[in-house]
Amino acid sequence: SQQGEEDPQALSIQEGENATMNCSYKTSINNLQWYRQNSGRGLVHLILIRSNEREKHSGRLRVTLDTSKKSSSLLITASRAADTASYFCATPEGSGNTPLVFGKGTRLSVIA
């Protein structure tokens, strides 16, 4: 099954800096999603970008999608200590009613 792969695996930045995480996937998709997971908790949906969209914003989050390169990026601007978490990209396993397949995630640490 196809799977997104996030890069880098871990990222440590100072509060106020921007954080960029990347995701690559293998096959054609109709959408790509980003999730956040605080340590020991469930995942929380952040944003969904459709295959016909190139960029999407939500608050301090900016997601881009390049279907020709099969890649996406998540940018968190003006990071805060509370942004410390793991971030995952997810893509549908296939066409139709299929489950999401997740990458291994990027562990973001924002140092105050």
Q: Which residues sit at the interface with other proteins, rule CB under 8 A?
A: 1, 30-31, 33, 35, 40-45, 48, 88, 90, 92-93, 96-105, 107
> Residue 92 CB, nearest distance to other proteins (Å)?
4
Buried b / exposed e along 31-43 (16+ C-beta atoms within 10 A): ebbbbbbeeeeeb
Q: Which residues contact 59 (CB under 8 A, 6 or more apart)?
A: none
> Residue 63 CB, nearest distance to other proteins (Å)?
13
**Which C-beta is closer to other proteins: that of 43 or that of 110?**
43
> Residue 42 CB, nearest distance to other proteins (Å)?
4
> Residue 43 CB, nearest distance to other proteins (Å)?
5
Task: Let me know if 79 is exposed, middle or buried by CB neighbors in 10 A (0-12, 13-18, 19+).
Answer: buried
**Which C-beta is closer to other proteins: that of 75 or that of 100?**
100
Q: Which residues pair with 33 in a beta bridge?
A: 48, 90
- Quote the CA–CA distance of 20 and 60 in Å, as a whole number: 12
**Which C-beta is closer to other proteins: that of 40 or that of 59?**
40
